Amino acid sequence: MPVPQPTGEVGRKLVVRYTNVNGIRSKIEEVKKWMEEGKADVVALVETMADTATVDCSFCDLLRLNRLGCRKESGGGVALAVKKDIQIIRMYELEVAGLEVLWVKVIALRMNLLLGAIYAPVYDDDVFSKLRTSMERIPPYLRRNIVLVRVFNCPKLNWSRDAGGASEKERDLLSLQKEFRLWQKVKECTRQRGSSSSSLDLVFSSQVSLVRGVRIIKPPAATWLTTMAYDSASRP
């Protein structure tokens, strides 16, 4: 992969979109249109429900982690769709068996960004312990430039209070946030079902200014469960 050469041009923001796509097999063209309409550089996808027979995209680099080695073999899955002109390196060394997490290093002129996508199943009580194992492998030079997005499935966690009434799993997430000095950037409800609302989909960053303009946006179709957009570090 060629190394980007400085051109003297000031890098613009990196536009990232996220969605719980609820199955990607018949939605490749929908993802392409949604990516183009939002002028997104990266789209993080969860619940892809993909397998080895699922085709890749021709319009972007699609990095996938199908559900393997987890308690439930069907469903799940995470992916990152990245525009072909973005310089990236998949960080295989950060992937952990039984954990649906995908990390890429985005190579920009001003900085290298570590972008992670995770799906934390509600049934997996050890998911954040496994995530800690993954994050402990992050090189020191990248720890200040982390952005982590996905479904964390801790709807009752109150970010404005201490962990006194939290479950063990929720306390593990709070401990992880404190240990790696992560800022939780989502302030709105991300799921609405009837009169019930919750924030299952979160964005963490290791610098408060690394992620800006987090906004919940309307899904392009009823079968998409959650959609979100935000701006991050300088684009290559």
- For the stretch 127-175, pLDDT in tens is 889 999 999 999 999 999 999 986 665 656 665 555 555 678 888 888 8
**Domain assignments of the chain as residue spans, ordered by start:** 14-234
Q: Which residues pair with 197 in a beta bridge?
A: 192
pTM over 0.75: yes
Residue 199 has pLDDT above 80, yes or no: no
Cβ-contact 220, 204 below 8 angstroms: no
What is the reported pLDDT for 13? 80
What is the reported pLDDT for 7? 38
Domain 14-234 has CATH 3.30.365.10: no
Helix (H, G, I), strand (E, B) or coil at 192: strand
- With helix as H, strand as E and coil as C, how does 132-199 read? HHHHCCCCHHHCCCEEEEEECCCCCCCCCCCCCCCCHHHHHHHHHHHHCCCEECCCCCCEEECCEEEC
Residue 15 has pLDDT above 50, yes or no: yes
55-92 tens-digit pLDDT: 566 556 667 676 554 444 555 778 888 888 888 899 99
Residue 177 has pLDDT above 80, yes or no: yes
